[in-house]
A and B are shown apart, each in its own frame.
Chain A
């Protein structure tokens, strides 16, 4: 398996990178130092810092001899040789150079492939990106293993209803490799707070125990796969994946029974809600900036009230779990309380829609891993590219974890 970073900008195909024209000239090796020093003064390459001033070409035919060329200056549009600045022109005259026009790449390379392609035109320097988010420059073996196992847990969760595949989300604290919250899509149905038997399996540490909490109705029966394992028709097969078909909620069959449904309860939204509930539960008093304590369970509107009740029930079920044991000490120290999801990662089976992707910006997630792109409504490269919107007040790094589509076939492991 492979983990691919999805950058903020759509990269240019390596062989189609934008170029600018420059004037260059061959020179004697012994002149190189003098000329480069002089040219850096009179015609510095301000906007082309990634471009090397000198090109060294190995001449095969002449038995290891090298040929040096130097960039004299940038060529303006429609510029004839006579438009070369006077200082440079003087240099050309005094050293008897023969200027020629050539192309160099306009932007610094963002990948090794781009760089290799650039150097075919004219050599450039390449600095691999040094962001402060782990993973953009590659993952250690240990980190990769942990990423694959969390992604696998998300995929199992997505198949856990056993009837139709949905999207699933896992919010993880990577510093301790602990699942903070997990959820499936609840757009088709979600269990009412009164249904306590279902809530029994809720637990923060073991995503596998979530299956019956996120039961979705299975109206899609078409699971026909081609012999190569790919779906006959994606629409039918993944019709219950909320982020793939956000606008399809009204057409889905209503669920019989006591279950509720909510067109906006996509997996990521529900996972954020659970992590917020965990925060309120583990650190009940730290938001008492006001003089009076805030009772989150009672102040809420009716809809929030019923939600809070459900979440409270969830937490009663985890008593005895070591998260609660550590709660005592954690709540003593201010530093242990998370600010929203700062520092946390999220694993989603499918690339999120703009609603979920923006919700995760608001909640300050640090890294996003998804397995399958979303060509209908994907916000992180497929339709939109939210990670490249510089105006947003927070950005997370986006990665695709490459897994074969066959892992979604419920028959394989269920």
Chain B
């Protein structure tokens, strides 16, 4: 899945760089540094970064933040379910780390078209590392007219080293949200 960086267009690298910027914002707030942007028609329409510590909700991953922002925006504009589904099917996600099993399922539920990610997620990746939810589940059983799991195109390894070095930075400073036996948090002077 990992390809040499030369294989990616300037545009791909530029969007991933924006996702990295989002991850840095998370790191500044002592959050696990994962960030993402959502692209439609060549434009950034949403962005998000991990917010699990602040929300005390371990499901508030970057992808979920960016998705909620879009759903809010589109519903405020009065778009119908059908129109919103149409919109999602034209969206591309750039995220610094492989979406976890939860987020990969969410992306499949929404019917997003394509995902570019940075580093692989060996512990709970849902796009090939642990489960392969991006492949959809059309093979698993006869749907009988019931909407089934949709797949999405997925490519990993884009600017993976940058994404990993952010993680390294985070674990060096310590996770303030971890239970006691974990490594102590290094207090840092903020700005």
Contact = CB atoms under 8 A, between A and B. Distances in A.
Interface of A: 235, 245-252, 254, 260-264, 269, 272-273, 276, 279-280, 287, 289-292, 294, 296, 299-304, 306, 339-340, 342, 353-359, 361-364, 375-377, 383-384, 386, 389, 391-393
Contacts of A276: 55-57
B9 interface: no
A392 B177 contact: no
A393 B85 CA distance: 33
Contacts of A391: 122-124, 130
Nearest to B137: A383
A247 B150 contact: yes
A208 B147 CA distance: 32
Interface of B: 30, 48, 51-60, 64-65, 67-69, 71-72, 75, 80-82, 84-85, 100-102, 104-106, 108-111, 122-124, 126, 130-131, 133, 137, 140-141, 144-150, 176-177, 179, 185, 190
Contacts of A357: 101
A354 B101 CA distance: 7
Contacts of A280: 55-56
Contact of B72 (A296, A299, A303): A303
B59 A250 contact: no
A362 B121 CA distance: 14
Contacts of A247: 108-109, 111, 147-150
Contacts of A392: 123-124, 130
Contacts, number: 154
B72 A306 contact: yes
Contacts of A261: 75, 81
A393 B101 CA distance: 13
Given A254-B81, A358-B126, A391-B122, A386 B101 contact: yes
B75 A260 contact: yes
Contacts of A340: 56-58
Contacts of A287: 53-54, 56, 176-177
B72 A302 contact: yes
Given A289-B185, A383-B137, A358 B101 contact: yes
Contacts of A359: 58-59, 102
Given A276-B56, A354-B101, A355-B106, A393 B124 contact: yes
A384 B105 CA distance: 12
30 contacts: A235-B144, A235-B145, A235-B146, A247-B109, A247-B149, A248-B147, A250-B81, A250-B82, A250-B85, A252-B81, A260-B75, A273-B57, A273-B59, A280-B56, A287-B53, A287-B176, A289-B30, A291-B190, A300-B54, A302-B69, A304-B51, A342-B179, A354-B104, A354-B133, A355-B106, A355-B109, A358-B101, A359-B59, A362-B102, A393-B123
